[in-house]
Amino acid sequence: MDLPEDLRGKLIKTPQPRWVSPMLATLAGKRFFEPGWICEPKLDGIRCLAFKRGGDINMYSRNRNLLNEGYPEIETALRGQAADALILDGEIAACEGDRTSFSLLQGRSHGGNPSTSHGAGIVIRYYVFDILYVEGYDVTQLPLAARKRLLEKAVSYTDPIRFLSHIPEADEAYFEEICGKGREGLIAKRVASLYVSGRSPDWLKFKCVREQEFVIGGYTEPRGTRTGFGALLLGYYEGKKLRYAGKVGTGFSESMLESLHASLSRMEQESSPFGDDLDQRGVHWVRPELVARVGFAEWTRDGRLRHPRFLGLRSDKEPGEVVRESA
């Protein structure tokens, strides 16, 4: 590998692991743009770790769900790579023009799970931003800048695989500009950071909009001409207790109302899964097994979501992982 002498000693010769927990970004309390950090676009998709071992390809979500069947075009492109052994980290996304769209990506899924039988015309790309292993060597102990150089050379970038470049002109003015265009935000990464599993202060999220995952704990009856259900009751975990965060009743297509209602109907239970005392009139309680992604304006003083909107289901995050995000 083309590395400076001082970095070659950080390479670790080792058998290729079958799984590595991904490095996760921490929500930043304050934005900054300074030397020693780079910024990448925050994508609106699904995290994917790709493992190539000869002709054997395994693509996993962050909670180790296998993604191969849902995105065969990416699997084919990975199998065609010259390197015999690779572990790549990136994001699977669907694009509307020059921006990624989680809502559009939902059209490629059924019940939150990727499926080629749904939305076959939706163009999918795999944006690769890190490399963990290449040709017999664990490279996670190299600094990010060196890993990026290796990544550029180790992979052939033809659709649907794309290299996710950093943004050299990122500053506050640029951040405000992309937010005005409806983009997700930026991920700031320390150039010297090593790749470590779990959440790290060396990768930071600068979000344009407020959104996060919530656990679905119930739903209300529809009113008027509405079909399926009226609104979803949402919560997040505080320890082992599911805390109520409010209801979301907008952002659903007719097909989502019907399919999600069918799923929720099979998950009904008599008692509330929430640890809060809630009005039970007209509410159907469900087992807290589904995770929804929700955008919202802000948190109210009493811990409720203001102006929430449903963005889609997530199959790549376990309900027990869902907490209230704070900087």
Give the angle 189-195-197 at the CA atoms, nearest 5°: 110
pLDDT at 14: 95
| pLDDT (average), residues 63-88 | 95
pLDDT at 98: 75
| Average pLDDT over all residues of the chain | 92
Q: What gap in Å lies between CA 248 and CA 133, rounded to an integer?
A: 42
Cα Rg, the chain, nearest whole Å: 21
Tell me, yes or no, if 42 is annotated catalytic: yes
Instruction: Give CA torsion, residues 255, 256, 258, 263, to 10 deg.
Output: 140
> Percentage of the chain with pLDDT > 70?
95
Q: How confident is the model at residue 100 (pLDDT cuts 50, 70, 90)?
A: confident
pLDDT at 113: 58
The dihedral built from the CA positions of residue 63, 67, 73 and 77, taken in this order, carries a sign that is positive
Which helix or strand (DSSP H or E) is residue 88 part of?
strand 85-96
Q: What share of the chain is helix, strand, coil (3-state, %, to 5)?
A: 15, 40, 45
Q: Which of 10, 13, 30, 42 is catalytic?
A: 42
**Cα–Cα distances in angstroms (integers) from residue 287 to residues 122, 218, 256, 274, in the given order:** 32, 8, 19, 10
Backbone angles phi, psi at 56, to 5 degrees: -90, 120
275-299: pLDDT as tens digits = 999 988 889 999 999 999 999 988 9
Predicted confidence (pLDDT) at residue 8 exceeds the cutoff of 90 = no
| pLDDT (average), residues 307-319 | 93
- Is there a contact between 188 and 37 (Cβ–Cβ < 8 Å)? yes
pTM of the model: 0.83
pLDDT at 251: 94
Q: What gap in Å lies between CA 97 and CA 82, rounded to an integer?
A: 30
211-245: pLDDT as tens digits = 999 999 999 999 888 999 999 999 999 999 999 99
* Of 236, 232, 213, the residue nearest 221 (C-alpha): 232
Q: How confident is the model at residue 195 (pLDDT cuts 50, 70, 90)?
A: very high
Tokens standing for residue 215: 């656990």
Local structure of residue 320 (DSSP, 8 states): G
Tokens standing for residue 121: 């015309």
Domains and CATH numbers, the chain: 25-43+166-208 (3.30.1490.70), 44-163 (3.30.470.30), 210-321 (2.40.50.140)
Cis ω for the linkage preceding 114 (within 30 of 0): no
The dihedral built from the CA positions of residue 231, 236, 240 and 244, taken in this order, carries a sign that is negative
